[in-house]
Amino acid sequence: MEKATFAAGCFWGVEATFRRLAGVTATRVGYTGGHMNNPTYKDVCTDSTGHAEGVEVTFDPAEISYDKLLDVFWENHDPTQLNRQGPDWGTQYRSAIFFHSPEQEAAAKASKERLEKSHRFSKPIVTQIVPAETFYEAEDYHQQYLEKRGLATCHI
């Protein structure tokens, strides 16, 4: 099993999107990329901790490739919006790929470059590609939030 970590706006919808993929064995939502230890949702919502709402994806590379996960990431949010997705704004909603290995870093950078060269977006892609840091699991009520409420999608 391998891990991949993504931030693409509100983590509820991002998690639901990745959970549906064959080869994804687990997901968890949380906070990453900030400067405060053990942040809470309330802390992160102040937009002062530096954390992004992220999703940690555990996957079986024999069933789904990291490149496929990257494709799903790019297809399910607007990577040209700086520190926001739809109605949600603040640095916690930024677009970011947190890589766990040099191979993931290279794949993420190559996928971003391909997307930029495709001219799919008229504005620049602002997605950060940065090393994975400590991932602080969010409160239990955030885990599989949409699934627990019988909802299929969020606004991503």
Active site residue ranges:
10
Q: How far apart are CA 137 and CA 143, in angstroms?
A: 9
Give 24's strand partners.
Answer: 59
Q: How far apart are CA 156 and CA 147, in angstroms?
A: 15
Strands 2-8 and 128-131: unpaired
Give 53's strand partners.
Answer: 31
The region that residue 150 occupies, defined by phi over 0 for left and psi between -120 and 50 for alpha, beta otherwise, is: left
Amino acid at 55: V
Rg (alpha carbons) of the chain, rounded to whole number? 14
As given in the structure block, the two tokens for residue 91 are 């640095």
Place of tokens 């620049």: 124
